[in-house]
Structure formats: structure tokens, C-alpha cells
Amino acid sequence: MSDIVIETRRLTKRFRSRYAVDSLDLRVERGTVFGFLGPNGAGKTTAIHMLLGSVRPTAGLGWVLGRPLGETAVRRRIGFLPEKTTFYPFLTAQEFLQAMGELSGLRRVELSARIPETLQLVGLADRARDRIGSFSRGMQQRLGLAQAILHAPELIILDEPTSALDPLGRRTVRDLILALKREGCTLFLNSHLLSEVEMTCDEVAILKKGRVAVSGRLQDLLQVQQTVEIEVEEMTEAAMSALRRLSLKVKMYGMPPRRLTVLLRSAEDTPEIARALVENGARLRALIPQRETLEELFVRVIESE
């Protein structure tokens, strides 16, 4: 069995003269969480619909779960939460999942166990018999997620899964994503909540005007910065001048300084700094190398020409 769950080669979608997705090359490995990021209008939803076979590419190729794009049989092995969910307001959560489950080929006996389990996972166990019309937007989003994972798909595609959720809801979804990953699922998701993405994703691609601006493993993309935060209980003159000698710039907070931000010549100098502080009588409490956040990477990529 192939270890690549999604692969595209120069996948392109043009609407009239505008390229919504332009020569997209993606490779998503089985069992990973992949963050598909980009500003509004970058082409994420269009690309997702090409993966699902509901939008036909203008050019390029792609495979999902080893099958060429557009093949309908593969759709049952994918779970999908659309960006905009539409529900029948007069159905209960239970009835809706029953109908969706039958559509994806699950038998009634399977569903009678699977539905309560899934509602439990998304935090809606006590709302099974309530009509969807009475649900808040956040609850509808949870139900959409339940629908996406109900049939235990191998690949789960989530287009903005947490946009309507409160902080607790986001945590539920985050835990769920990590639990699904542990079970061997592959997740492909798009979210603007970059701190959440940072906590769940192994790899990301940042899309800009239909093209991939950067992609790779998160830990390779987020640069270790040349800055360290230092906290001391006590600082000495000698430690201070050693610090100045070893670094490019020292910023101090408070009198006498308790916290310092130090710009190093190189990230490699960190142990040297720690030793110099201690040997010169400073009582060191913390020394924390700073790493770029995903949000900083995103802004850096999107704002660059």
C-alpha cells in the first residue's frame, strides 16, 4: 500500500481568466496531519474540491488514496467537513448522522453503536435527540465534524473546522485530531487559527495566490531565532560585561535587571552564554531560545514579494 495519501502534480484550476489554483504540487504522507494554509482567496477550498472530485481541474494530475482524482468510489474512504455546512434543520443530530451513515454505506447495526460514540467524541452526546435547527453555529460545526469521521475514513479533510468554535470547542477538536492521528488516520486541514495548527500539524503548505509559497515539516520551517530570553535572580557587573562581550545586543527589563533579551551572534552560542553568566556570579533562573511562531512565518511568507 502506498504511503502517499495525497499527491498532486501541477494541479491547476482556472475560472475564466483567473487562476484559483496554479500548478499545485502536494505530497501528503499516510498518518500525518497536514496544514493547508493561506489567506482568504488563496485557493484552498478550490484545491480541496479538486481532491474530492467535485471540481474538475483545468490542468495537472492528482491521486487520492492511490486513485486518480474524480473517481467516485474513493469518496467513501474520505471524511470531509465543508467550509459551509448545510443541514436539514428539522432533523435531529441522531437522524442526520443515521442518514449520512447510510449514504456512506454503513449498516444500521454498525450505526447504532457508531453514532453515540461519534457524538461523544465531538462533545454532543447529550444533544442527540435535539433538532439541528436549535443548534448554535459551533454545535453545527461539531456535528459536521461528527459526520466527517462517522464512517472511520482513512483520510479526513477539514475545511476550517474550528472557525465557529469557542476555546473549549477548539480544544475538543484539537484532541480529536491528535487521537485520529494516533489511530493512523491522515488529516488534511485548513485553518486560520495558526496556534492550533502549530500544535497539531506535522507539515504545512502555505498557499499564496494559488501557488505554494513554502511547504515542509513545521520543525524545519520555523527558524530558531538568534534571540534568547534570560531570567536571573541576581545579576553581577562581571556577568553583564561577559554577556555584552558574547552577544550583539542586550535588552534589559527592570532595575536591577531581572529579565534580559539577548541577540546572539549565532544560536550555537547559547551554552556559552549560560556558562559565562553562572561563572561570573549571576543566579540564572531561565534561559529560553526563541523560535519563530507559525504566525510569524505566515506573515513573513505572505508579505514578502
Return the C-alpha cell found at 156. 479526513
- Which of 81, 228 has the CB closer to Mg ion? 81
Query: What DSSP state is assigned to residue 265?
Result: S
Number of H helices, E strands in the chain: 10, 14
CA 294 to CA 303: how far, in whole Å?
A: 14
Contact pick of 8, 12, 45, 141 for Mg ion (by CB under 5 A)? 45
Stretch of residues binding Mg ion (CB under 5 A), selected from 80-88, 109-117, 138-146, 171-179: 80-88
- Which of 187, 206 has the CB closer to ligand ADP? 206
Stretch of residues binding Mg ion (CB under 5 A), selected from 38-46, 92-100, 208-216, 286-294: 38-46
Residues 192-221 that bind Mg ion (CB under 5 A): none
**Residue 3 in 3-state DSSP?**
coil
82 scored as a contact of ligand ADP (CB under 6 A): no
97 binds, among Mg ion, ligand ADP, none (CB under 5 to 8 A by kind): none
Stretch of residues binding Mg ion (CB under 5 A), selected from 45-53, 98-106, 133-141, 148-156: 45-53
Which position has the grid cell 496554479? 22
Closest separation between CB of residue 163 and Mg ion, Å? Answer: 10
Question: Which element (helix H / strand E) includes 213?
Answer: strand 211-217
16 to 45: interface string for ligand ADP, x by CB under 6 A: --x-x-----------------x-xxxxxx
- Which of 160, 276 has the CB closer to Mg ion? 160
140 scored as a contact of ligand ADP (CB under 6 A): no
Q: Residue-wise over 181-202: b if at least 16 C-beta within 10 A, else e?
A: beeebbbbbbbebbebbbebbb
Closest separation between CB of residue 16 and ligand ADP, Å? Answer: 7
147 binds, among Mg ion, ligand ADP, none (CB under 5 to 8 A by kind): none
Total residues interacting with Mg ion, rule: CB under 5 A: 3
83 to 112: interface string for Mg ion, x by CB under 5 A: x-----------------------------
257 scored as a contact of ligand ADP (CB under 6 A): no
46 scored as a contact of ligand ADP (CB under 6 A): yes
From the CB of residue 127, how many other CB atoms can be counted at a distance below 10 Å?
19
162 scored as a contact of Mg ion (CB under 5 A): no
- Which of 40, 72 has the CB closer to ligand ADP? 40
Largest CA distance in the chain: 76
- CA 96 from chain center: how many Å? 27
Query: What DSSP state is assigned to residue 237?
Result: H
The order of strands in the sheet holding 78-81 is 78-81, 155-159, 186-190, 33-37, 203-208, 211-217
CA 297 to CA 43: how far, in whole Å?
A: 19
- Are 37 and 50 spatial neighbours (Cβ–Cβ below 8 Å)? no
Closest separation between CB of residue 176 and ligand ADP, Å? Answer: 22
The one-letter amino acid code at 280 reads: N
Binding footprint of ligand ADP on the chain (CB under 6 A)? 15, 18, 20, 38, 40-46
Binding site for Mg ion (CB under 5 A): 44-45, 83
